[in-house]
Amino acid sequence: MKEHKSAKLVAPKDFDGPMRSRRCTDIIFLLLIIAGWIVFTLFGFASIGLINSRYINKGNPYQLLRGSDYMGNICGTSDVVKQLPLLWKPNSVGMNPNSFGDYVPTVLGICVSSCPLSGETRDDPYSIFGRWASQFDV
């Protein structure tokens, strides 16, 4: 095996380097990325109401940040449940009947002022389903 000497590489005299054949080949894709960026930015502005659109309804970011009860009111922001900022799902495991003995759907949630501890009860703010006793510490 030959040992390599650490000699400086020298290009041939007729070699000008790769600079002559270089050119930008991604202009079309760059334009597509910029166009997509603009479209999605405009879509975002329309969805939060900064731009009026008859096709995109104005969204409510509180629907993402807070829960909504079974009547569709957003906990802590809707007028009916403004004093109840937290969402509690009393029958989250399907084994907790209300005070009438009914098992409500597991996705049903009610707005509460504080999360109940095990054994504490919470009333339905609309008085439709009565009250629930918490089975777990939340």
pLDDT tens-digit map of 90-119: 877 777 777 777 777 778 888 998 888 888
| Shared-domain flag, residues 26 and 84 | no
Q: How many residues are there in the chain? A: 138
Q: Does position 28 have pLDDT exceeding 60, yes or no?
A: yes
Read off the tokens for 20: 């002559």
| Shared-domain flag, residues 73 and 137 | yes
Structural domain containing residue 134:
62-138
Domain finish residue from 44, 59, 74: 59
What pLDDT does residue 19 have? 67
| Shared-domain flag, residues 77 and 108 | yes
Q: Is residue 6 part of a domain?
A: no
Q: Is residue 11 part of a domain?
A: no
What pLDDT does residue 33 have? 96
Q: Are 130 and 99 in contact (CB under 8 A)?
A: yes
| Shared-domain flag, residues 44 and 93 | no
Question: Higher pLDDT residue, 36 or 28?
Answer: 36
What pLDDT does residue 109 have? 87
Q: CA dist 82 to 19, 78, 111, 115, 122, Å?
A: 67, 5, 9, 16, 16
| Shared-domain flag, residues 47 and 85 | no
pLDDT band at residue 41 using 50, 70 and 90 as cut-offs: very high
φ/ψ of residue 56, rounded to 5: -120, 120
Question: Higher pLDDT residue, 31 or 48?
Answer: 31
| Shared-domain flag, residues 31 and 68 | no
| Shared-domain flag, residues 96 and 137 | yes
Q: Is residue 1 part of a domain?
A: no
**pLDDT tens-digit series, residues 51-86:** 888 887 777 778 888 888 888 899 999 888 899 999
Q: CA dist 121 to 56, 113, 118, 132, Å?
A: 41, 12, 9, 5
Number of folded domains that form the chain: 2
| Shared-domain flag, residues 104 and 127 | yes
| Shared-domain flag, residues 51 and 84 | no
| Shared-domain flag, residues 109 and 68 | yes
| Shared-domain flag, residues 78 and 48 | no
Read off the tokens for 23: 């050119």
pLDDT band at residue 32 using 50, 70 and 90 as cut-offs: very high
If you average pLDDT over residues 118-122, what whole number do you get?
A: 84
| Shared-domain flag, residues 47 and 77 | no
Q: Does position 5 have pLDDT exceeding 70, yes or no?
A: no
